[in-house]
């Protein structure tokens, strides 16, 4: 497949998309922070199957990191990323520098309340404002038909959907399944921070999610399931930030099983100094899927 064209400027990116839309081509967009893995390529493959052209952005967005987070050490390797993208038929890689996306004197932010408030919104107070702000900017430069996100960042998807709906942005938000390593660990660029023993301990995140799903299907009460989840994580010395069973749309805590709600388990934790998140949508208890 041909090497993707690397685009550095917002205006050039926009012209390419607008020109190709006018030719009747359907465009799929995958925003990333680079350090690409099979989770990203699954989004790209999905976009390629639904669209004529795929554009991927690679931009480590400074404003979605908190002051004590890993912005500086976040892994960056544009060369390897572009090589991987060339194998998946990506046409354009939008890789602006920080000044291009945040020009001097920059002073505009998007604030989403609602789904951005609990969980990550509490623990990382400026995170979702940073995410919403960059996605809105990227969409001005890459006004695609579809934008693709992975289900691992569940709350992020709710925030983006809220922003898209409220502002009336003309784009389809597509949620794709979490991609896991063979041992169950959800793909994440931050997995690179884990030592070999930390990585082994981290496997309990997914196994505890699956154990919780079993209990759920046997009709065990929600608070009992949460207790079991936390016990399993703690036994591997995982530091829990949250491990809750919530309504998948409102993110409100479920206190009773409600057969009509879509329900999800959300986990955020630290393994050593590495922060990981994961989640599992629970099957409906009324269907045979349990």
Strands 263-271 and 239-247, by their bridges, are antiparallel
What is the closest distance, in whole angstroms, from the C-beta atom of residue 110 to its own copies in the complex? Answer: 6
Neighbours of 68 (CB within 10 A): 6
What is the closest distance, in whole angstroms, from the C-beta atom of residue 221 to its own copies in the complex? Answer: 29
Residue 141 in tokens: 């430069």
Enzyme catalytic residues:
40
What is the closest distance, in whole angstroms, from the C-beta atom of residue 103 to its own copies in the complex? Answer: 7
With respect to its own copies, which residue has the nearer C-beta, 164 or 263? Answer: 164
With respect to its own copies, which residue has the nearer C-beta, 144 or 229? Answer: 144
Q: Identify the sign of the CA torsion 11, 55, 140, 113.
A: negative
d(CA 53, CA 91): 6
Residue 133 in tokens: 């702000």
With respect to its own copies, which residue has the nearer C-beta, 89 or 114? Answer: 114
Closest CA to 155 of 230, 267, 260: 267
What is the closest distance, in whole angstroms, from the C-beta atom of residue 247 to its own copies in the complex? Answer: 14
Q: What is the largest CA-CA distance in the chain?
A: 57
With respect to its own copies, which residue has the nearer C-beta, 105 or 259? Answer: 105
What is the closest distance, in whole angstroms, from the C-beta atom of residue 13 to its own copies in the complex? Answer: 9
Name the burial class of residue 142, with classes exposed (0-12), middle (13-18) and buried (19+) by CB atoms within 10 angstroms of its CB: buried
d(CA 230, CA 238): 9
Residue numbers at the binding site for its own copies (CB under 8 A): 10, 14, 18, 22, 101-103, 105-116, 132, 136-137, 140-141, 162-163, 165-170
With respect to its own copies, which residue has the nearer C-beta, 115 or 150? Answer: 115
Buried b / exposed e along 12-28 (16+ C-beta atoms within 10 A)? ebbebbeebbeeeeebb
Neighbours of 67 (CB within 10 A): 6
Closest CA to 59 of 71, 48, 47: 71
What is the closest distance, in whole angstroms, from the C-beta atom of residue 59 to its own copies in the complex? Answer: 13
Residue 237 in tokens: 């010395």
With respect to its own copies, which residue has the nearer C-beta, 66 or 114? Answer: 114
d(CA 204, CA 243): 13
């Amino acid at each position: 497949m041909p090497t993707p064209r690397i685009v550095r400027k917002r205006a050039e990116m926009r012209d390419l998309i607008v020109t190709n839309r006018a030719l009747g081509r359907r465009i799929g967009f995958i925003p990333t922070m680079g350090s690409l893995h099979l989770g990203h390529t699954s989004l790209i493959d999905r976009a390629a199957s639904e669209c004529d052209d795929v554009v991927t952005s690679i931009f480590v967005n400074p404003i979605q990191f908190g002051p004590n987070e890993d912005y500086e050490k976040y892994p960056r390797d544009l060369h390897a990323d572009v090589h991987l993208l060339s194998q998946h038929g990506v046409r354009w890689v939008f890789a602006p520098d920080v000044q291009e996306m945040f020009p001097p004197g920059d002073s505009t932010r998007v604030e989403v309340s609602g789904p951005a408030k609990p969980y990550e919104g509490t623990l990382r107070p400026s995170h979702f404002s940073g995410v919403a702000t960059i996605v809105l900017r990227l969409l001005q430069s890459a006004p695609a038909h579809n934008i693709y996100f992975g289900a691992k960042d569940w709350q992020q998807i709710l925030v983006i959907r809220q922003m898209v709906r409220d502002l009336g942005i003309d784009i389809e938000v597509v949620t794709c399944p979490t991609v896991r390593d063979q041992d169950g660990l959800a793909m994440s660029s931050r997995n690179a921070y884990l030592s070999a023993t930390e990585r082994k301990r981290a496997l309990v995140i997914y196994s505890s999610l699956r154990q919780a799903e079993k209990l759920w299907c046997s009709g065990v009460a929600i608070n009992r399931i949460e207790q079991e989840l936390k016990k399993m994580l703690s036994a591997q010395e995982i530091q829990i930030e949250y491990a809750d069973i919530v309504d998948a749309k409102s993110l409100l805590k479920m206190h009773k099983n409600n057969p009509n709600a879509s329900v999800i388990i959300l986990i955020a934790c630290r393994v050593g100094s590495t922060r990981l998140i994961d989640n599992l949508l629970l099957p409906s208890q009324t269907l045979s899927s349990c």
